[in-house]
Amino acid sequence: MKTIKEDLLEWLNPEDHGYDTEKDQLEDLLEHGCVSGIVSHLIYYDDTLQYYQDHKEEINDLLMENLFHTGLSVSEMFGDKWDKKDPLAIETNNRNLLAWFGFEETAYNYANKQGYDL
């Protein structure tokens, strides 16, 4: 199975997605998020729930790192999108958010390593 970064790199193909550069594609993702439908394999719940399941460890590592560096709680980080009645992400909504978070956070980290000022 591919890592999230490998999946991101496969998705990053500016010409196939109507962008001039990789930076433009990442900028659009990071500005509008997966919720915009920009990542075609992370639109439907069936896909995002499977993505979460497949990448749960990576997503949890990214989440813990982000929480540590920001000092926020999970519900503070995701705001009103996070279902506080489901703190363990057992239900669809929170798993969907975490799948998107994993992809977006990986994209953000990749963009920083590339020196893109986004």
Domain count, the chain: 1
Report the distance separating Cα 97 and Cα 104, nearest Å: 10
For residue 44, is it within any domain?
yes
For residue 118, is it within any domain?
no
For residue 32, is it within any domain?
yes
Residue identified by tokens 């980290």 is 109
How confident is the model at residue 117, as a pLDDT?
87
For residue 68, is it within any domain?
yes
Tokens representing residue 88 in the block: 């363990």
Cβ distance 26 to 12 under 8 Å? yes
**pLDDT class of 15 with cuts at 50, 70, 90:** confident
For residue 62, is it within any domain?
yes
Counts for the chain of helices (H) and strands (E), in that order: 6, 0
For residue 53, is it within any domain?
yes
pTM of the model: 0.95
DSSP sequence for 88-113: T--SHHHHHHHHHHHHHHHHHHHHHH
For residue 67, is it within any domain?
yes
Mean pLDDT for the chain overall: 96
**What is the rounded average pLDDT of the residues 51-59?**
98
**pLDDT class of 14 with cuts at 50, 70, 90:** confident
How confident is the model at residue 63, as a pLDDT?
97
* Domain containing residue 70: 4-113
For residue 55, is it within any domain?
yes
Report the distance separating Cα 1 and Cα 71, nearest Å: 32
